[in-house]
Amino acid sequence: MCGIVAILNPKEETKSLRAKAIKLAKTVRHRGPDWSGLYINDNAILAHERLAIVGVDSGAQPLKAVDCVLAVNGEIYNHTELRHTKLNHMYEFKTHSDCEVILYLYKEYGVDFLNDLNGIFAFVLHDEKTGDNLIARDPIGVIPLYYGYDKAGNLYVASEMKALIDCEEVHEFPPGSYMHKGIIKKYYQPDWSKNQPQIPCDYSALANSLSAAVKRQLMCDVPFGLLISGGVDSSIIAALAAKYARTRVESYGEKAWWPQLHSFSVGLEGAPDFHYAKIVADAIGSIHHEVHFTLQEGIDALSDVIYHTETFDTTTIRASTPMFIMARKIKSYGIKMVLSGEGADEIFGGYLYFHKAPNPAEFYQETVRKISKLHLYDCLRANKSMASWGVEARVPFLDLEFIEYAMNIRPEDKMIINGKMEKQILRDSFKGLIPEAVLFRQKEQFSDGVGYSWIDGIKKIAEQEISDKQMSEAKNKFPIKTPRTKEDYLYRELWAQHFPEQCLDCVAYEPSIACSTPTALKWDKSFENQADPSGRAVANVHEKSIKVLNGVQVKE
């Protein structure tokens, strides 16, 4: 994970912009604390703040080759394959960076190579010969990217919008898209997003595809860790990663120089997730760390969390705060990369309101819609919460090859019918990999699993701090994306302390019940009376989790 800032098509001498570029790059240095790099010519300035994970000794950026300069945030998991199958000429690679291949692909194919990349990325490539720039973002939007224009008309591009607050207009760069010659175009338009699939689930193929995705994403030259919430998604990822942890993925059996695999969970004292996370950690043999925080510590962190995540969306802030606290502890162990379980709920219809889906077509359409929104919510949370402390979060469920397989499974096999649980086919594909107490644990929203008193505590604080008068005048103070609850108001006010109004367009703010009010209401009118967006607000679906203590089942 890194931070990039670029100033392109300058309307003034770039020498006069150099100090400004360096200043802006400092605002994203938390994403890349290991090294700083700067490239400047008459047509472009590219600044890079590096988190060294692959090619630690030689991958400093911006990278320069074949008359092109490149600043990248992210990882290209299939870079070795691309070197051998897509390049028609011999190139002398100057680094061990997985991103260097982008320069040569551009040299041979222009912009027509982006669909060949399997990775998470946001990059700016400057062509010194033509003066053209290529800006691109990964298909799902795992890596954040923003752009804006200042008064003079200079184009700014950055990993986070806090580097663009001097711009007169600021926009999120759309996932699966590129900008070339000033025009933004969509390059990622998979068939599964347009046509309802008809292929039955092959449990073995599903398991093998996810296992291959995890192995690909263990491309790493530094110690890595595992996030285990105690839910089925992160637990499967952790168990698969443990199978490959003893050797370096790209070194053909060479032993890893870090001898132990560490895992982490976070919560308030007595949080439901701790019990189940420990079951998984014990099963896979990881050294497990429980990161405890108090309600007050969470409240105290809210301003920092909102500054780093750059949002005031309620469910995102609720879940980002524990993750932000956990990231700092992870960093203290010298770990730079972690594997996480985001994406499974969108692909397999794992949110509890999917129980209400009336037919396969609507179930399928909602999974496609949810994937298209990941960059605004779960991907944003995982990336920015971890990057705030210089840790990279990787998400194997969103590996392109795995998505291609999983999203071509017919929705009938994913639906929650005939006594099935949510994500039943995923659970059935990994029987025996993790203990059944976790494998068949019901979906728990992350902000619930860290302790129900976390959400209840925030709401209580908001009630105390935000008056009824403030709420009655909310429309006047915040006419755009007006807060609906006192908790919303608290987050909105904190956000306004950090960001100007021109950044509002970049913030997702939609009504949310169980993560999807419009669809949830369409499927079941009873949601109209449920004002809280937590997953446990799904009436008649969520059951409080059960843990086993000394052989006795205890409801939490």
Q: For residues 2 and 72, is the Cβ–Cβ distance under 8 A?
A: yes
| Catalytic annotation, pick one of 2, 68, 201, 515 | 2
What is the four-CA torsion angle of 454, 509, 351, 224, rounded to 10 degrees?
-70
In this structure, which amino acid lies at residue 461?
I
Rg (CA), the chain: 23
How far is it, in rounded angstroms, from Cα 531 to Cα 529?
6
Active site residue 2: yes
Q: For residues 120 and 74, is the Cβ–Cβ distance under 8 A?
A: yes
The strand pair at 133-137 and 146-149 is best described as unpaired
Q: For residues 110 and 165, is the Cβ–Cβ distance under 8 A?
A: no
Which H or E element spans position 36?
A: strand 35-40
Both structure tokens of 452 = 């129900």
State the helix-helix crossing angle for 295-309 and 378-387, rounded to 10 degrees. Answer: 100
| Number of residues that this document lists for the chain | 556
Write the DSSP assignment of 112-142 as a string of letters. TTGGG--EEEEEEEEETTT--EEEEE-SS--
CA angle 72, 56, 109 (to 5 degrees): 35
Q: For residues 271 and 298, is the Cβ–Cβ distance under 8 A?
A: no
Write the DSSP assignment of 338-368 as a string of letters. EE--TTHHHHHT-SGGGGG--SHHHHHHHHH
Q: Within 10 A of 162 (CB to CB), how many other CB atoms are there?
A: 17
**Local structure of 548: helix, strand or coil:** strand
Write the DSSP assignment of 313-327 as a string of letters. -HHHHHHHHHHHHHH
Q: Which residues contact 463 (CB under 8 A, 6 or more apart)?
A: 486
Q: What share of the chain is helix, strand, coil (3-state, %, to 5)?
A: 45, 20, 40
Cis link prior to 259 (omega < 30° from 0)? Answer: no
Q: Which residues contact 157 (CB under 8 A, 6 or more apart)?
A: 4, 5, 6, 8, 124, 135, 145, 146, 147, 173
Q: Which residues contact 526 (CB under 8 A, 6 or more apart)?
A: 539, 540
Which H or E element spans position 204?
A: helix 203-216
Which H or E element spans position 171?
A: strand 169-172
Q: Within 10 A of 480 (CB to CB), how many other CB atoms are there?
A: 10
Helices (H) and strands (E) in the chain, counts: 21, 19
How far is it, in rounded angstroms, from Cα 167 to Cα 173?
15
How far is it, in rounded angstroms, from Cα 87 to Cα 110?
12
The catalytic site residues sit at 2
